[in-house]
A and B are shown apart, each in its own frame.
Chain A
Amino acid sequence: MNQNRRFLLKGTLAASAAGVAISAGLLTPKTVMAAWSKAAFEAADVNSALTAAMGSADHSESGDVKLKAPDIAENGAVVPITVSSSIAGVESIGILVSSNAQPLTATFNLGPNTEADVSTRIKMGKTADVIAVVKANGKLYSAKKQVKVTIGGCGG
């Protein structure tokens, strides 16, 4: 069976269903925005992933964004990452790995009471820069750190 065609059909159905839901007032636009962004996650470079996920690739490095990651990750399959920020009004946080085939690893949309401090564990294919991007008041702030990987976590 033609998988692409299946996917397209499903996608169209889902999209039209979402459209109906909006017009019926069942869903607020924010919930619709939160749907998994295929374009962002399948983008092959950092800038296009950022544009698709956060609306812009224009980010400035800021000391107020803290990215905690190991200097050397012995096992690329499990790299602990913590992103926190002292900037007020953080709306979302993104984690990207520059050398991965699909750089965008995760996005976190925070509620009004949620603190800008999230931790998770990611996979890295090889030594690369981990980039944390924080969106606050419509602007993007970032922090970058190189993590050396001795054993890759993507295949092998």
Chain B
Amino acid sequence: MANSIKVRAKVKGGVATVKCLISHPMETGLRKDKKTGEKIPAHFIQEVNCEHNGKNVLNSQWNGSISRNPFLSFSFKGAKAGDALKVSWVDNKGESDSIEEALK
């Protein structure tokens, strides 16, 4: 699951605005397969963590009711261009991915 995260992070006046897109099926586990009538097993991201220069800025926990290919946007203060930003996620099957970007 490499490169499942796309990050755009911009700094303006010390405030960084981060936008992330993650490619993930986000299957709730409640949906049924139309052909077989069986439930499709749950497969969704449970945790997304964002770090700025190694310090946690956002820890978010998700349910299966977040849309497929989730989008997340947030902002934090005290940022400057070139700072390191790390975004990582873990899903209910234990799969995970992370990306490190420099703020622009």
Contact = CB atoms under 8 A, between A and B. Distances in A.
Contacts of B61: 34, 36-37, 41, 106-107, 109
B28 interface: yes
Contacts of B55: 111
A101 B29 CA distance: 11
A123 B69 CA distance: 11
A21 interface: no
Contacts of B78: 113
A104 B63 contact: yes
A78 B74 contact: no
Interface in A99-153: 100-102, 104-111, 113-115, 117-124, 153
Contacts, number: 104
B57 A119 contact: no
Contact of B66 (A106, A109, A117): A106
Contact of B72 (A34, A119, A155): A119
Interface string B64-99: 111110111111111000000000000000000000
B56 A111 contact: yes
Contacts of A18: none
A154 interface: yes
Contacts of B65: 97, 100, 102, 105, 122-124, 154
Contacts of A155: 30-32
A79 interface: yes
Nearest to A100: B65
12 contacts: A41-B61, A41-B63, A80-B71, A106-B61, A106-B62, A109-B60, A111-B57, A113-B78, A114-B76, A118-B73, A119-B71, A120-B72
